[in-house]
Amino acid sequence: MPILKKEESLPKRPVVIVVYGEPGIGKTSLFNTSELPLLIDFDRGVDRSIMRQDTLLVNRWEDVQAEEKAGTFNNYKTIGIDTAKAALDDFLMAYVIKQDYAAAKNKLKAYGAIGDEFKLFVNNRRADNAELVIIAHAKDEKEGDVIKKIPDVTGQSYNLLLRIADQVGYMRTINNKRTIQWEPSDTTIGKNVARLPVTEIPDEHDTAFRTFMAQIIEQVKDAIATMSEAQKEAMEKMSRFQDQISACEDPDELTSLLQVVTEMPKSYAASLRKLIADRSKACGFVINKEDGCFERPAPADSKPKTPAQSVKANKDGQTTLV
């Protein structure tokens, strides 16, 4: 496996997208608009979808393993799992119990084994450079007085699903238009790495519908790649500022650095402000409260023109005068 050098940009990688919603809203049909898709039908719902694509009908998890060994998945760009609950809670549960009958009485052990098998499947698809779309029904979960829509899978399988997903969207109808809400809300679970707005799904007769999911996948991949590039640039700036601050011996220069680092992302800026505060103490600088700048302390026999105070950084890196 080649080493990715620190100065190199991260390449686009396959993504995992979860789409959940009420039965019959068109989740499987939406998957059919992916690029070169293969649907693994655990829920026997493919016959109700439109624009049906190649479909793998399975009766047990061993059928999936057999197709994997035969290299079937290598011929497709997007793999769909329909539905998550059937795959994880039914097919994989039966498989892991067959492998270890003790798991039937130990649910914690069973769900651990399910997670291991499913992560292996996901990693293999990523190694094939295939996208993964996981379809789930929605169910209600009560949180206090609020009813929240979440993907319908059980216990640890639910946590696993959210952890591996890059993007999670709730599919529903708004004003007679099918939409996907990606951003989490008080009443829905979501994950929105690509910062997509509420997305209206074109009518099935619209030509834009034919490639709808393929375009969503590409947007998510672009967003992740862009974030990686932005992070690399920010880290490079961070490193330069750290070197400048550590070597700084001039109060005016330190003042200028304090002003510049505020333009960095919030998490980076907080760390750099703390570094500046520490450097000012090490150099014995004080802050001129009136001018808001660092100064060398006045000689002992002279009276300062304006109040001079020390600079202190709190745990979040914010600088204050003391």
pLDDT tens, residue by residue, 274-285: 889 888 888 999
Q: Which of 93-102, 218-227, 265-274, 302-311 bottoms out in mean pLDDT, i.e. has the lowest?
A: 302-311
pLDDT tens, residue by residue, 75-113: 999 999 998 999 998 999 999 999 998 888 888 888 889
Asked if residue 64 has pLDDT above 90, the reply is: yes
Asked if residue 18 has pLDDT above 80, the reply is: yes
Q: Which of 114-123, 165-174, 191-200, 289-298 bottoms out in mean pLDDT, i.e. has the lowest?
A: 289-298
Token pair 């690509």 in the structure block, residue? 194
99: Cα separation from own chain's centroid? 33
Bridge partner residues of 20 (DSSP): 136, 170
Residue 92 exposed, middle or buried by CB count within 10 Å (0-12, 13-18, 19+): buried
3-class DSSP state for residue 80?
strand
Cis peptide leading into residue 83 (ω within 30°) = yes
The H or E element spanning position 212 is: helix 212-247
Tokens representing residue 256 in the block: 């200028």
Cβ atoms of 67 and 73 closer than 8 Å: yes
For the chain, which domains are there? 16-225 (3.40.50), 248-321 (no CATH)
pTM (2 d.p.): 0.70
3-class DSSP state for residue 224?
helix
Cβ atoms of 169 and 185 closer than 8 Å: no
CA distance 227 to 166: 13
